[in-house]
Structure 1
Amino acid sequence: MAKRIETKGLDIYYGKFLAVSDVSLTVAPRSITAFIGPSGCGKSTVLRTLNRMHEVIAGARVQGKVLLDGDDIYGPSVDPVDVRRTIGMVFQRPNPFPTMSIYDNVVAGLKLNSKRLKRSETDSIVEKSLRGANLWEEVKDRLDKPGAGLSGGQQQRLCIARAIAVEPQVLLMDEPCSALDPISTLAIEDLLQELKEQFTIVIVTHNMQQAARVSERTAFFNLAGVGKPGQLVEMDDTEKIFANPSDRRTEDYISGRFG
């Protein structure tokens, strides 16, 4: 069941440095939301707070709230591992486990979660996940071959299959196409349209055309100045952000005046 994400007054720190300030936004279930903005504005940092990946960095912390269907994922009794199981992540560079087969890559997350499954059950999950990532037909006859032997675009879809195998409700994607060629990028974008029927998706992208193509809503982040924290300037329907933004800074960024 796809879930709604909400942040309220989110401040994100690296040690004493306030990296991103006062972010309040809502991400609707079964939709694609894009985070755009210049380098260093904090969009990937915000993304990583949505499944508690931020705190893996020494000294990193947050203040404020991140709510998943109204429940605070930073609550004192919440296990971060459970959060990351519910809110999956796909990174900028495809990162299949190099020594593992395609098959073992898909079920790696399940094994980390200590799920004991029969071979017939894992076979079923592998096929379902690879079909979900639009990769099954390309790899079904070489599941025992290394995942690292696939092309870049196939590797990224393998990472998506690995992320969805544990049945998350939210998928976070940090520039998932930036290392890919145009044809692979198009394949991932087509896949996102299918995946949003099941998942809530948030994608960070430097490619504004991509944001315009794939997302229903777009959040624009910016820096107030060098050494100042990043901030959410505005968030709205993607069509409005690109055609008629409310804030001059958004218009300046989208029209290429900076960034």
Structure 2
Amino acid sequence: MSTKLLLNDVNIYYGDFHAVQNVDMDIPAQAVTAFIGPSGCGKSTVLRTLNRMHEVIPNASVKGEILLDGHNIYDSKVDPVAVRNTVGMVFQKANPFPTMSIAENVVAGLTLQGEKDKKKLAEITEQSLRGANLWDEVKDRLDKPGGGLSGGQQQRLCIARAIAVRPEVLLMDEPCSALDPISTLAVEDLIHELKEDYTIVIVTHNMQQAARVSDKTAFFSLEATGKPG
């Protein structure tokens, strides 16, 4: 497998607190890499550094290199917005925009970028919902609020929204933690399908889930001092 993301001596801080220390890791392209470990060990913190979401937290900082296709995403010349377009994020709790319809939710990122071609937006809506295995369930109610879907459907809607902007990498922060077993299985099956087109990094507390969905697993530990490492 070729390497999509490479972390070289990455150290992550919240102000003066050294939250995550000395991470060296390669993340293969078009595969699923799982981050697993105890609560508070830095899994989600590392995940957020991969699309520069960590730095939106006041006084947060990152040292070291994170290379995306060989280019350091923390280089001063790199636009963080461009990084986030290339590296999408799906959060722990499904977060469809409550005032938007299902269709509007899917293409929210594109409309924010200024896309106004209704035909193109409609095509991308269908493609993305099909990619998230949701099209057949919602195709007759695209004008209904996204918040009216079930929890599992909302999470797949958020995945459709993430892939609508055509990222190369998908980050998933415990995407199944709030879902029932049937919805969890649907999302896990979707992850298997998506890795044909995307590099996926998933944070999970569940060892069994990591075994089911991942091609590679990174284990995070706590140091004896209790500080994340």
Q: Give 1:225's aligned amino acid.
A: A
Report the TM-score, using the length of structure 1 for normalisation: 0.86
2:188 equivalent to 1:200: no
Q: Give 1:113's aligned amino acid.
A: Q
Which residue does 2:221 correspond to in 1?
Answer: 222
2:175 equivalent to 1:179: no
- 1:228 positional shift: 2.1
Which residue does 2:77 correspond to in 1?
Answer: 77
- 1:89 positional shift: 0.2
Identity of aligned residues (%): 69
Which residue does 1:152 correspond to in 2?
Answer: 151
**Structure of larger gyration radius:** 1
Matches within 5 A, 1:1-259: 4-114=4-114, 116-230=115-229
Q: Give 2:163's aligned amino acid.
A: I
- 1:3 positional shift: 7.0
**Does the 8 Å CA contact 1:174/1:204 hold for their aligned counterparts?**
yes
- 1:57 positional shift: 0.4
- 1:96 positional shift: 0.2
Q: Deviation per CA, 1:7-51, whole angstroms, max 9, x where unpaired? A: 000000000100000001000000000000000000000000000
The unaligned stretches of length 5 or more in structure 1 are 231-259
Superposed structure 1 runs of 4+ greater than 3 Å apart? none
- 1:157 positional shift: 0.1
Looking at structure 1, the residues matched to 170 and 149 of structure 2 have their Cα atoms a distance apart, in angstroms, of 22
Q: Deviation per CA, 1:158-202, whole angstroms, max 9, x where unpaired? A: 000000000000000000000000000000000001000000000
**Does the 8 Å CA contact 2:146/2:154 hold for their aligned counterparts?**
yes
- 1:226 positional shift: 4.2
Which residue does 1:238 correspond to in 2?
Answer: none
Q: Per the alignment, in what secondary structure is the counterpart of residue 107 of structure 2? A: helix
- The count of corresponding residues between Structure 1 and Structure 2 is 228
